[in-house]
Amino acid sequence: MTERVLVIGAGMAGLFTALALGGEGRRLDILERDPPAPAGGADEAFADWNRRGVGHLRHSHAFLARLRNLVLDHHPALLDELRAAGCQEMKFADGLPAASKDRYRPEPGDEILTVITSRRTTLELVMRRYVERMPGVTLHSNVNVTGLLGGLDAEGRFVCEGLRVKDGETEREERADIVIDAAGRTSQGFDWLAEHGVTWDEESEDAGILYYTRHWRLLPGQTPPERGPVPGAGDMGFIKYGVFPADNGCFSITLSAPEIEETLRVAIMRPETFDHICRLLPGVAPWIAADRAEPVGKVHGMGDLKSRWRSTVRNGRPIALNLFFAGDGLARTNPLYGRGCSFAAIAAYLLKDVLARETDPAARALAYQGAVDRDIRPYFRDMRTQDRQAIRRARNTLDPAYRPRFKARLMKSFAEDALTPAIRSDPALLRAFMRGFHMLEPSSAWLKRPATLGSVLATWVKPRALKQKYYPPKLGPDRAEMFAALELSATADAERLGLIAA
């Protein structure tokens, strides 16, 4: 019997779910509440596509290496179509610091450390059109899902039998063997479970930042600037920045400010302030020179950023059968790490393997949750830990009375005087680090290898004068200098928090 699968949402998670499960002899229907893509190509999609269900549609996007490799392995024709649409690929060698380029020797495996960068609208447009051509897959736009069909079994588990939907003014029931909630940040799946008295385990906390993006287009005949000594992405503590090359002569710049830096983050929303900050950053300024590029549209802000992990298994028992979650509805993280799309794609392919291996609904639920716990959760924990550390640093920056303890000073020295110069001086160490960043192995695995750790420790004890050229250059003005240049009060937030007298 052919299984019918209903997928809620045609965003990244829904499309990756279709890529994983489509063409496998199933009948797969994707239900999307937003309108279809406009006719035309990438520029029309960016200008005209109304995707109210995707708050970060016009923020910077990139596909990390593990995600690109999934596409390459399972849908190489899609990768060709992304390239044809103008999406760019950035290889490992492209990101080498200038100080270590002469030490680089290509090795087998470097080719898989490749990132895809593009406007989100272009990525989604090409993927959607590809998915719509897959056998057994149908995408329905302008369809609202209003609830789950099913009820509790004798063990208190919700047995999903389909969805309630509203198509225009028509309400109907859609029956299915499997339902996958890929609705993203706006997912209501767990809320619908709660209506049936189902409870679940959840961890949730603020990421502690807000971020802002503005898009730019190169002027006719212009090309991106030559890579200089100051990188196009960096963390200055009170602000993070990144330049994201995109498709068809476009690029975006994202600035991120800690939530506690209210004065700065409010000011960033003004285009003139956003651009002023960019001109103060040596790694960004050449990109937006008046004779090189022009801005496209407004500054797009995004807040309410959280780390959240939900589990569909509680006390060793599944809370629901025939119902699965993928994407932000299952695991939501700080977008600055760029792993949201990767999480969605990995989960989709984990689910594909589970459905092929198991036929019993309870066994499927347990196996799927176990797989995402093993494969995805360690990265979630690492990112949450980094968010917590960044939140503490941001508050300490505003507190004139803060004095770091010995452990904090030691860890700061290890990061700044060991890790950073070691990675910037040795392409082999950078390669190992990037494998963790790109989710090709556990994040910290590289540093646990005796030889790698030995190299880092050797760098730590080396006199600073002997490793001076491997320290990163100054990324831009310090906090006081930046606030002065922007004519902002550098003490207003400390006063607001009671850290200093008003």
Last residue of a domain, one of 368, 385, 400: 400
Position 465 in a domain: yes
Position 93 in a domain: no
Position 114 in a domain: no
Position 98 in a domain: no
> Is residue 320 located within the same domain as residue 340?
yes
Domain enclosing residue 2, as ranges: 1-58+75-83+120-206+307-400
- State the CATH number of the domain containing residue 258: 3.30.70
> Is residue 176 located within the same domain as residue 313?
yes
| Mean pLDDT in residue range 377-386 | 94
Pick left, alpha or beta for residue 488 (phi over 0 → left; psi -120 to 50 → alpha; otherwise beta): beta
| Mean pLDDT in residue range 233-250 | 95
Position 100 in a domain: no
d(CA 62, CA 216): 16
| Mean pLDDT in residue range 337-341 | 90
Closest CA to 351 of 330, 379, 381, 378: 330
| Mean pLDDT in residue range 349-359 | 97
> Is residue 296 located within the same domain as residue 164?
no
Instruction: Show the tokens assigned to 288.
Output: 């937006």
| Mean pLDDT in residue range 321-335 | 94
Position 323 in a domain: yes
pTM, two decimal places: 0.95
Q: Is 224 within 8 Å of 264 (Cβ atoms)?
A: no
Q: pLDDT category, 451, cuts 50, 70, 90?
A: very high
Identify the pLDDT of residue 337. Answer: 86
Last residue of a domain, one of 400, 423, 449: 400
Closest CA to 305 of 277, 265, 267, 275: 265
> Is residue 377 located within the same domain as residue 423?
no
The rounded percent of the chain whose pLDDT value lies above 90 is: 88
Query: In degrees rounded to 5, what are phi and psi of residue 321?
Result: -120, 145
> Is residue 256 located within the same domain as residue 366?
no
Identify the pLDDT of residue 173. Answer: 96
Identify the pLDDT of residue 397. Answer: 93
> Is residue 453 located within the same domain as residue 323?
no
> Is residue 350 located within the same domain as residue 281?
no
Q: pLDDT category, 1, cuts 50, 70, 90?
A: low
Q: Is 394 within 8 Å of 403 (Cβ atoms)?
A: no
Last residue of a domain, one of 366, 400, 434: 400
> Is residue 243 located within the same domain as residue 338?
no
Instruction: Show the tokens assigned to 261.
Output: 């830096």
> Is residue 124 located within the same domain as residue 198?
yes
Q: Is 234 within 8 Å of 283 (Cβ atoms)?
A: yes
Q: What is the pLDDT of residues 104-159, one digit of tens each?
A: 999 999 999 999 999 999 999 999 999 999 999 999 999 999 999 999 999 999 99
Q: What angle do CA 83, 326, 329 make, to 5 degrees?
A: 115
Q: Does residue 185 have a pLDDT over 90?
A: no
User: How many domains does the chain divide into?
Assistant: 3
> Is residue 244 located within the same domain as residue 158?
no
Position 68 in a domain: no
- State the CATH number of the domain containing residue 22: 3.50.50.60
Q: pLDDT category, 349, cuts 50, 70, 90?
A: very high
| Mean pLDDT in residue range 192-197 | 96
| Mean pLDDT in residue range 358-385 | 96
> Is residue 16 located within the same domain as residue 140?
yes
Q: What is the pLDDT of residues 263-318, one digit of tens each?
A: 999 999 999 999 999 999 999 999 999 999 999 999 999 888 899 999 999 999 99
> Is residue 451 located within the same domain as residue 415?
yes
Position 112 in a domain: no
| Mean pLDDT in residue range 329-344 | 91
